[in-house]
């Protein structure tokens, strides 16, 4: 099934390795440079939400039962840390009833990394537009077909086309300005893109009607090369840690630069189940409300990484046709 992830606040999922002048760049695909959210991050957020829900039960026995019966089948049991294992073995020395470490096994759920589908970019035509490219939509359609979920309409554009497509006719009037990209001609309204925009809008929760409408009317397809340049210039924020004297001097002071994915970007991940475990996928779908507003990545205490999730949505197949 499809999982739509919409960034409400800037997102920072770091690689932990410096990249040039950027101390903490975000995770990107190595071959495209497009930002992604690792599958391990998504699975960890989902597991945490399910564990938190299970631990809300006050009765200890019921809480343990829910973790064993509802969390472990989906995500697998957590391996004990070295310290926990050592304490357990020490407590069990000389005791015939010593507790044994529970067997580890893989959970039923399979997450793919969340790929960027629409990037929020500043514009002179509107406060911002949802920008994508033919390559991104082509890969999304391929992923949907591989998952047996559906398809997206073909934009019928020749490879290397410089034509810009818009979902809303009011954007078809030149010039179209996106960041420092200026398009003076070859801007066309596309009925197929309008259908795709409506499909992408369904990746947001039903209650977010205004944001859905903004996606439907603000989706723009630019050339692949322009999109690649655009998303490789992500916002960078300087972060600083002050010492007790409110200065950066001394060993406690530090200055570093973090890359961020802006708010109002849309990512898509596919979630499946291992063979023979389809019932567990249905269990995730029935409890998807637990993930509707979730935090991903670092800087949680300063409000970053707040995202809207919609789990189990299936974009309607966009009608195929000419541009």
SS3 state at 319: coil
Residue in 138, 235, 134, 224 with CA at minimum distance from that of residue 179: 235
Phi, then psi, of 179 in degrees rounded to 5 = 50, -120
Instruction: Supply the pTM of this predicted model.
Output: 0.87
Average pLDDT across each block of 10 residues of the chain; the chain has 323 residues. List them in order.
96 87 93 96 95 87 88 87 51 46 81 97 97 94 87 64 90 92 92 92 94 97 96 92 65 78 97 87 89 95 95 58 37
The strand ranges marked E within the chain are 2-7, 36-37, 109-111, 114-122, 128-133, 164-166, 176-178, 181-183, 187-189, 219-222, 236-241, 254-259, 266-273, 293-295, 306-313
Tens digit of each residue's pLDDT (9 = 90 or more) over 119-160: 999 999 999 999 999 999 999 999 998 888 877 766 655 656
- Here the tokens at position 200 are 């992408």
DSSP code of residue 170: G
Please give the C-alpha separations between residue 2 and each of 69, 146, 297, 305, 315, in angstroms, as whole numbers: 24, 12, 20, 20, 8
- Here the tokens at position 149 are 């979920």
Cβ–Cβ under 8 Å, residues 24 and 14: yes
Tens digit of each residue's pLDDT (9 = 90 or more) over 198-247: 999 999 999 999 999 999 999 999 999 999 999 999 999 998 877 666 66
Rounded-to-integer distance, Cα 320 and Cα 246, Å: 60
- Here the tokens at position 260 are 């961020």
Q: Where are the alpha helices (DSSP H) in the chain?
A: 39-55, 60-66, 72-75, 82-92, 134-146, 191-201, 209-218, 224-231, 278-286
Peptide bond into 175 cis (omega under 30): yes
């Amino acid at each position: 099934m499809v999982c739509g992830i919409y960034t409400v606040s800037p997102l920072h999922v770091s690689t932990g390795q410096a990249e040039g002048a950027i101390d903490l760049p975000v995770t990107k695909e190595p071959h495209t440079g497009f930002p992604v959210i690792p599958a391990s991050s998504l699975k960890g957020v989902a597991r945490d939400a399910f564990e938190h829900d299970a631990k809300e039960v006050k009765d200890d026995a019921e809480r343990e039962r829910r973790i064993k019966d509802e969390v472990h089948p989906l995500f697998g049991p957590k391996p004990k840390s070295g310290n926990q294992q050592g304490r357990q073995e020490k407590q069990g020395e000389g005791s015939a009833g010593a507790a044994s470490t529970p067997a580890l096994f893989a959970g039923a759920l399979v997450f793919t990394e969340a790929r960027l589908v629409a990037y929020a970019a500043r514009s002179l035509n509107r406060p911002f537009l949802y920008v994508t490219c033919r390559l991104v939509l082509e890969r999304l359609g391929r992923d949907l077909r591989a998952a047996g979920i559906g398809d997206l309409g073909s934009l019928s554009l020749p490879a290397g086309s410089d034509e810009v497509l818009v979902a809303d006719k009011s954007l078809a009037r030149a010039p179209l300005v996106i960041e420092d990209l200026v398009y003076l001609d070859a801007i066309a309204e596309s009925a197929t893109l309008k259908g795709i925009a409506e499909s992408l809008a369904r990746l947001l929760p039903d209650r977010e009607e205004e944001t859905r409408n903004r996606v439907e009317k603000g989706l723009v397809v630019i050339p692949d090369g322009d999109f690649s340049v655009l998303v490789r210039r992500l916002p960078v924020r300087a972060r600083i840690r002050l010492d007790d004297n409110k200065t950066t001097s001394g060993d406690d002071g530090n200055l570093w630069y973090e890359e961020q994915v802006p708010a109002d970007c849309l990512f898509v991940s596919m979630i499946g189940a291992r063979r023979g475990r389809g019932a567990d996928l249905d269990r995730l779908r029935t409890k998807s409300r637990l993930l509707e507003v979730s935090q991903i990545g670092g800087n949680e205490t300063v409000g970053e990484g707040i995202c809207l999730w919609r789990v189990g949505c299936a974009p309607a197949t966009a009608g195929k046709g000419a541009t």
